[in-house]
Amino acid sequence: MSDLSPSLADPQKEANEPSSPVARFGPDTPLLMDCGVVLDRWQIAYQTYGELNAAKSNAILVCHALTGDQYVASRNPITGKGGWWTSMIGPGKPVDTERFFVICANVIGGCTGTTGPASTNPTTGKPWGLSFPVVTIRDMVRAQAALIDSLGIETLFCVAGGSMGGMQVLQWAASYPGRVFSALPLATGAKHSAQNIAFHEVGRQAVMADPDWRQGRYLEEGTRPAKGLSVARMGAHITYLSEQALHRKFGRKLQDREAPTFSFDADFQVESYLRHQGLSFVERFDANSYLYVTRAMDYFDLADDHDGVLARAFAGTKTRFCVASFTSDWLFPTADSRAIVHALNAAGASVSFVELESDKGHDAFLLEEPNLFATTRGFIGAAARARGL
């Protein structure tokens, strides 16, 4: 990292003028949001990999999870680290960029170039902060649809993503069924559980309890709620792992010492690990964006738009689905995926389902999981043959 540091980008500058391509929209293409607000000047930052074929039929949209970004398979300019899904996407990989045109966009409400609370409000010239309208998963998908339109793509060959990205996949299939040939929702659910909302609220309260949060005006006042956001990240990160993974990696091992210090220092390796996760996170992510994006996940309930009947969200769909879960994921357990599959079956959809054996917890979809790679490669390959690609 140290040799890359001098060339790393400023996170605040990236919020408005990202290093990636940007699609900008004006009053002729407003974003109508679920909360009733209309954004008449907004932008969406994205990255692409591979080439769009002449028929524009090989595009795959990858939707990122809670703290992800558009740099799915390329270097992040803020952290200097590689893309967050390079195990899955690239030449010869399950999502083969020599065969498909891959698009990944930062979500609306994010902080890496798509309009969000860290962006400059064009009306005031100041950061939006908490004056930014509250965002939903459907808003994120509407913004992505506008981007896809701007790229001249009518139908997506596949929409894929895990966790919050999986929520977006499901919303795409429900909102734009004629535009999604195949869908790959991983480690996700059709609604956020009460337990998950509770975890998010603890994180939001940690951010808002930091004196440097300044009622969301910290960018204007030159402060940063780093401590609160760090604690929020630490708490959330625990939910992404399994007890088995934590025990295998850390157990009760002490950190750089042979005996307890009888203090509140980070005696255990797991404590040091979580502190590192928290500190590194605040360098790349905006605190207000954390509030907005977690709230979007909390509000997500796909069946609620269809009189509480999830199957109606997929009525008449021609989209091909592959739903996958992991045995050790307690954030989005297999029961959540089964509920999606049951609804798709009730709607008469083409759907395959696999529960993958893994002890890595929720984050397994981001890690080296050969069974996931085989599942993805098989599903995408079969869908490509069905589409004549």
Domain boundary at 273, 293, 313, which? 293
Question: Residue 254 maps to which CATH number?
Answer: 1.10.1740.110
DSSP state of 189: -
Please tell me the predicted confidence (pLDDT) of residue 4. 39
pLDDT in tens, the chain (389 residues): 333 344 688 988 999 999 999 999 999 999 999 999 999 999 999 999 999 999 999 999 999 999 999 999 999 999 999 999 999 999 999 999 999 999 999 999 999 999 999 999 999 999 999 999 999 999 999 999 999 999 999 999 999 999 999 999 999 999 999 999 999 999 999 999 999 999 999 999 999 999 999 999 999 999 999 999 999 999 999 999 888 888 888 878 778 888 887 878 877 788 888 888 889 999 999 999 999 999 999 999 999 989 999 999 999 999 999 999 999 999 999 999 999 999 999 999 999 999 999 999 999 999 999 999 999 999 999 999 999 99
Residues 218 and 221: their CA atoms lie apart, in Å, by 5
Please tell me the predicted confidence (pLDDT) of residue 7. 66
Closest to 86 measured CA to CA, from 76, 58, 353:
76
Q: Are residues 74 and 97 in the same domain?
A: yes
Domain boundary at 293, 315, 349, which? 293
Q: Are residues 95 and 244 in the same domain?
A: no
Instruction: From residue 147, give the alpha-carbon distance in Å to each of 52, 153, 289.
Output: 15, 9, 21
Question: Residue 151 maps to which CATH number?
Answer: 3.40.50.1820
Instruction: From residue 255, give the alpha-carbon distance in Å to each of 234, 247, 271, 276, 278.
Output: 17, 15, 8, 13, 17
Q: Are residues 272 and 205 in the same domain?
A: yes
Q: Up-side HSE of residue 308: CA atoms within 13 Å toward CB?
A: 0
Conformational region of residue 92, where left means phi above 0, alpha means psi within -120 to 50, and beta covers everything else = left
Q: Are 220 and 206 in contact (CB under 8 A)?
A: no
Count of structural domains, the chain: 2
Q: Are residues 282 and 305 in the same domain?
A: no
Please tell me the predicted confidence (pLDDT) of residue 1. 31
Domain boundary at 237, 271, 293, which? 293
Q: Are 206 and 231 in contact (CB under 8 A)?
A: yes
Q: Are residues 104 and 251 in the same domain?
A: no
DSSP state of 54: T
Binding site members for substrate: 233, 363
385: CB partners within 8 A, 6+ apart: none
Q: Is there a catalytic annotation at residue 163?
A: yes
Per the domain annotation, does 6 fall within a domain? no
Instruction: From residue 42, give the alpha-carbon distance in Å to each of 9, 26, 288, 364.
Output: 22, 7, 18, 34
Binding site members: 233, 363
Q: Are residues 145 and 125 in the same domain?
A: yes
Q: 234 is written with which tokens?
A: 């630490």
Please tell me the predicted confidence (pLDDT) of residue 263. 75
Q: Are residues 262 and 306 in the same domain?
A: no
Catalytic residue among 19, 329, 336, 358: 329
Q: Are residues 287 and 325 in the same domain?
A: no
Residues 151 and 312: their CA atoms lie apart, in Å, by 30
Q: Is there a catalytic annotation at residue 328?
A: no
| Summary count for the chain: helices (H), strands (E) | 11, 12
Per the domain annotation, does 151 fall within a domain? yes
Q: Are 163 and 361 in contact (CB under 8 A)?
A: no
Q: Is there a catalytic annotation at residue 329?
A: yes
Residues 325 and 339: their CA atoms lie apart, in Å, by 12
End-to-end Cα spacing for the chain: 40
- Structural domain range at position 17: 11-192+300-387
Q: 353 is written with which tokens?
A: 């389902």
Q: Are residues 131 and 27 in the same domain?
A: yes
Please tell me the predicted confidence (pLDDT) of residue 6. 46
Q: Are residues 69 and 179 in the same domain?
A: yes
Q: Is the whole-model pTM more than 0.85?
A: yes
Per the domain annotation, does 105 fall within a domain? yes
Instruction: From residue 55, give the alpha-carbon distance in Å to each of 58, 110, 378, 387.
Output: 8, 32, 23, 12
Q: Are 344 and 314 in contact (CB under 8 A)?
A: yes
Residues 14 and 24: their CA atoms lie apart, in Å, by 15
Per the domain annotation, does 136 fall within a domain? yes
Alpha helices in 45-136 (DSSP H): none
Closest to 187 measured CA to CA, from 320, 371, 329, 353:
329
Q: Are residues 146 and 98 in the same domain?
A: yes
Q: Are residues 178 and 285 in the same domain?
A: no
Per the domain annotation, does 3 fall within a domain? no
Q: Are 105 and 70 in contact (CB under 8 A)?
A: yes
